Amino acid sequence: MLYQKGNMFSKACEYGIKSMIYIQSNHDDSRKICLNEIAEAINSPMAFTAKILQQLKRSGLLVSTIGAKGGFQIKNNKPITIKEIVLAIDGDGFFSKCVLGLKVCSSANPCPAHEAYKLIKENMIKDLLDLELDEFTKNIKNKTIALK
């Protein structure tokens, strides 16, 4: 093995996803959720996580309040999908690029993987990326998944 890759999403994106799941899971109108708590909860480097939260803010998924007792909240408490987070952090490469890095393929001139891969991608989006954060919340509460 030459390098250790094979991650569909960047580390930044994973932290983003986990942060959002954490924030959603711990939503409480009476308080904001602060960076420190988030980074601790998902076991991520704090300053790096800060950048990611800023990006999620810029993308309109989060809002924040500054100062003591400040922190982050999901904007308007709106349902958010994994896909929105991926787009905010990694951009649309995942959705637009050829997995194999090939060129000049289309439905008219398909590569052998074309039809199969199109379906795989559609399913991946439907069954994984279109999932909303709150679908993960109960699993966090059950402890059937963990963020760190």
Partner DNA sequence: TATAATTCGGACATTTTTATCCTAATTAAT
Partner DNA sequence: ATTAATTAGGATAAAAATGTCCGAATTATA
- Angle, alpha carbons 128-23-75 (nearest 5°): 90
User: Between residue 80 and residue 119, which ones bind ligand SF4 under the rule CB under 6 A?
Assistant: 98-100, 102, 105, 110-111, 113-114, 117
Q: Which stretch binds a second copy (CB under 8 A): 26-34, 63-71, 72-80, 110-118?
A: 110-118
Residue 94 contacts a second copy per CB under 8 A: yes
Residue 89 burial (CB count, 10 A): 20
**Per rule CB under 7 A, is residue 12 in the interface with DNA?**
yes
Q: What are the beta bridge partners of residue 81?
A: 132
Q: In whole angstroms, how close is the CB of 26 to a second copy at the nearest point? A: 16
Q: Cβ neighbours of residue 32 under 8 Å, at least 6 residues apart? A: 64, 65, 69, 70, 71, 72, 73
Nearest to 88 by CA among 60, 64, 63: 60
Kindly state whether residue 60 participates in binding DNA, applying the rule CB under 7 A.
no
Q: Give the footprint of DNA on residues 18-47 (CB under 7 A).
A: 32, 34-36, 44-47
Q: For residue 38, give every residue at least 6 positions away whose Cβ sits within 8 Å of its Cβ, in sequence order, or none.
A: 19, 22, 23, 44, 49, 53, 72
Q: Is 50 in the site for ligand SF4 (CB under 6 A)?
A: no
| Binding residues vs DNA (CB under 7 A) | 3-5, 10-12, 15, 32, 34-36, 44-48, 50-51, 53-54, 57, 64-72
Residues that bind ligand SF4 (CB under 6 A): 98-100, 102, 105, 110-111, 113-114, 117, 145
